[in-house]
Amino acid sequence: MEKCEVAILGATGTVGQKFIVLLHNHPFFEVKEVVASDRSADRLYSEACRWKQSIPMPKSVANLRVKDTSDTLESSILFSGLDSSVAGSAEEAYANAGHIVISNSMNHRMDRHVPLVIPEINPDHLELIYRQQYKGAIVTNPNCSTIFATMAIAPLQKEFGVEALVVTTLQAISGAGYPGVPSLDILGNVIPYIGGEEEKIETEPLKILGVLKDDHIEPASIKISAQCNRVPIYDGHTETLSVKLKRKARLEDIRRALDNFYGLPQELQLPSAPEKPILVLDDQDRPQPARDVWLQKGMATLVGRLRECPVLDYRMVILGHNTVRGAAGAAILNAETMVRKGYLKNGNRVPKESNHFGSHRVFKSAILAKN
């Protein structure tokens, strides 16, 4: 297929750089524009960006001239790694101008008509884009820790129902961006507070696991209690979960549900999809960030120490790569899903006069379609 030209918003930041790494030689998308703050505007990307990735900066991006958020963009699809302080209004402006914004930012995740998507779990929520009033659209992926916790409980919710979840996170410093947490605060230390994280984990899974009802999501009825900690690990968010089920299940039933879980990205064999979205590890001391975070190219949720809980029903330890599956990789997988399901088509304008809900509308923007 012909590649679609895309732009990276917040291209000089940690998530923006990860977008560029993961999109290098991608079969669907080609980075043609980079956008950052006005401090970086009009400079070459190689000059404006303090590159912190494990591979050299791709030459195809290094010589791109940086634009700022007031510039007109030619790309139809925009991958957003913008800071939340500017993402809200900037993403709305781009969507109003007809762009498709695939966002990792938090600002629009809980908007009524904005889908909050993990494509293994709720790809049907993408239908909400036909309720948006933008010429284009905004699609979001969840908070990094939310993704891993929700991936772990989604199979259990489907088969047994989940009544309550207690989660404690041990979050890597790369999740704080660059330069991140001061070394004198984090080295040899644990910081038991990350602003806004607990609220995200307690609310976002309810939307993701909810049911699409005409023009909104009916949230799942799960009680969630979260505590979040920053720890001196470079990459990889570890979480401990205790789950109370609505229906009784044996330990082997829980393991089978997790081990057999797969979704639409695996059926479609999308480029960024892990072969197994959940890997159940049997060793008693796994998963570990230093040893396991890059399994399945950083796109899987790793589950270990699965056992009974003396307070709730079952408990486990989970791990995920926070800047890959927890951020840029999640947004790219959402975009791949939209391409293969016909929501995005070759970067061309495709008018749509009606959607599944029967409301008459013609999209004047780029690349919105539904087969």
User: What H or E segment, with its residue span, contains residue 315?
Assistant: strand 314-320
Start-end ranges of CATH 3.40.50.720 in the chain? Answer: 4-142+327-340
Can you give the pLDDT at residue 368?
44
Catalytically active residues, by annotation: 144, 237
Can you give the pLDDT at residue 344?
87
User: What H or E segment, with its residue span, contains residue 19?
Assistant: helix 14-23
Can you give the pLDDT at residue 355?
36
Give the residues of the chain that fall short of pLDDT 50: 347-371
Record the pTM: 0.93
Give the 3-state DSSP-derived string for 151-214, with helices as H, strands as E and coil as C: HHHHHHHHHCCEEEEEEEEEECHHHHCCCCCCHHHHCCCCECCCCCHHHHHHHHHHHHCCEEEC
State the burial class of residue 39 (Cβ atoms within 10 Å of its Cβ: 0-12, 13-18, 19+). Answer: exposed
Can you give the pLDDT at residue 1?
72
Please state the separation of Cα 130 from the chain's center in Å: 21
Start-end ranges of CATH 3.30.360.10 in the chain? Answer: 144-322
Can you give the pLDDT at residue 346?
55
User: What distances in angstroms separate CA 35 from CA 90, 203, 283, 330, one per listed residue?
Assistant: 11, 30, 44, 20
pLDDT digits (tens, 9 = 90+) for 243-286: 999 999 999 999 999 999 999 999 999 999 999 999 999 999 99
Nearest-angstrom CA–CA distance, 346 and 226? 41
Amino acid in position 358? G
For 122, which DSSP code?
A: -
Please state the separation of Cα 301 from the chain's center in Å: 13
User: What distances in angstroms separate CA 137 from CA 25, 131, 176, 330, one per listed residue?
Assistant: 25, 9, 27, 17
Superfamily of structural domain 4-142+327-340 = NAD(P)-binding Rossmann-like Domain (3.40.50.720)
Question: Domain spanning 144-322 has what CATH number?
Answer: 3.30.360.10
* SS3 state of residue 82: coil
Can you give the pLDDT at residue 2?
85
How confident is the prediction for the chain on average, in pLDDT? 92
Other beta carbons within 10 angstroms of residue 196's beta carbon come to 11
User: What H or E segment, with its residue span, contains residue 90?
Assistant: helix 84-96
